[in-house]
Amino acid sequence: MRKEIKIPINNNFDNYFSYWREFKNNIKRQHKDRFISSVYYDNDDYSTARNNLAGISKRKKYRIRWYNSDDNFFYEIKYKKNNLGSKILLKSDEYHKNLKNLYSSRNKFLNKSENKFFLKKIISYNLKPKLKVTYLRSYFIYSKNIRITYDRNITYTLLDNLNIKNNNINDFMNVIEIKFKHKDLNIASSLIKKSKFVPKRFSKYLRGLYLSGISNYIWIMISPKKVLFLFIIILLFLSFSYGFISHRQKLPPYGLIKNIYAIVLSKQQNINDDNNIRKKHSSWNKLNKNFKPIKEIFLKDFIPGINIFSDRNYFNHKNDKDLEGLKIVQLPKHYPINVKILSSEPITVYRPVCKNNNNETYYSWDKTDIEILIISHSCIHTKVFKKEFESGEITLKPGGPKSADPIFLLFKKKNTDLLIKTVPPENYLVPEYKLK
């Protein structure tokens, strides 16, 4: 058994994680990053999820897992007691592409004498595939015995007998996991205290069900007491009755609820639209062999296919001709600090915007007819605003919170001298990505 401490963080704090790891604690990489795919199994009553929500100390998870594009996969039973965990692994030579036959009674691998207990568990508990989780994991080691993993780009897919029920859901949270034996508890605690991180309970399975809209149904089933269930029914009835009356008479909180519903509906529509765009442009995240992420800001001539950010390989997919003749300021994607530019002549600044960002700073800017398409995990920049600036020092907000907004410049005079004042690396660090 080993202890596991989980720390969920917003993906906007990638830079701080890198700073904490590299410069504060000298935490070393253990081996190469790899993609992990897991399929979680549960019964129709979601007993596994309910046990987790209820805080039952002893619980189990059943799943299969594979790494990168490797066809081989592992059957896993994960045991949990409080914050102690262990698991049983069975490596199969079958393929995860044939998932529908995995727990069939005809499964040759599971019918082997040493593996039959796994098949019996699946059948006796009536377990079915409920959720697929995919993410990129980085591996680190500290003080020889403490393992640290960092999971990002987490995607959830709700399943119904291994058939996809809805589109992929991308999480804005990343997860740090610190794993160690009980004897190393003091070392691990000291490591966490040096950071701004706050350990919390976190389950990718529960998180995926929550973002998929399943958790409310599970929560209702969690209480065994009929009194509580009756109370919920009565509360729902009273809420519905007052809601009906407030709707007919336009009483509070009718207006508030209507506004909230419009906001939620708009956000969901934005998520669906973004997912459809990523599906249409399947090569949006394809690595450029010549791309090298650098922790600096650069000024370059815009050419089709150029990297929009200095630390990411994202590029523009639409109407490159509208950007010809402009200069591009290559920022790190999550650059959080104002950009200061010193220009000897008047210039025009163009800023692509993303609907997931707070774009209040552009209310005084002019909207252009330029339509572009810069796709990333957290943002899709589509519209362009511009503003005229006189010579001298110009201060531009970076954009956010999901992503920095790219900066394009138009020089009105060819002999324009321009200086970009960058932030010292000790004040801002871009996560280091090692390309394969």
Q: Residue 144 in contact with residue 164, Cβ under 8 Å?
A: no
Place of tokens 């200095």: 310
Within 13 Å and on the Cβ side, how many CA atoms surround 169?
24
* C-alpha to C-alpha distance for 138 and 27, rounded to whole angstroms: 12
One-character DSSP codes across 30-89: EEEEEEEEEEEEE-TT-HHHHHHHTT-SEEEEEEEEEETT-S-EEEEEEEEETTEEEEEE
Hey, what domains does the chain have and what are their CATH numbers? Answer: 2-220 (3.20.100.30), 224-275 (no CATH), 298-421 (no CATH)
Reported confidence tier of residue 36, pLDDT bands at 50, 70, 90: very high
- Of residues 72, 27, 340, the one with CA closest to residue 188: 27
Tell me the pLDDT tens digit for each residue of 284-337: 777 665 667 777 788 899 999 898 998 888 899 989 999 989 999 998 888 888
Reported confidence tier of residue 432, pLDDT bands at 50, 70, 90: very low
Residue with the larger pLDDT of the pair 163 and 201: 201
* Residue range 6-10: mean pLDDT, rounded: 89
What's the token pair of residue 77? 């039973």
Is pLDDT of 434 > 50? Answer: no
Interhelix angle 254-280/226-249, nearest 10 degrees: 100
DSSP E strands, 143-172 = 146-160, 163-164, 169-170
* Residue range 42-52: mean pLDDT, rounded: 83
Place of tokens 């692994």: 89
Residue 194 Cα distances to 19, 108, 175, 182, 387, angstroms: 12, 51, 18, 20, 43
Is pLDDT of 422 > 60? Answer: yes
Is pLDDT of 368 > 80? Answer: yes
For the entire predicted model, the pTM comes to: 0.48
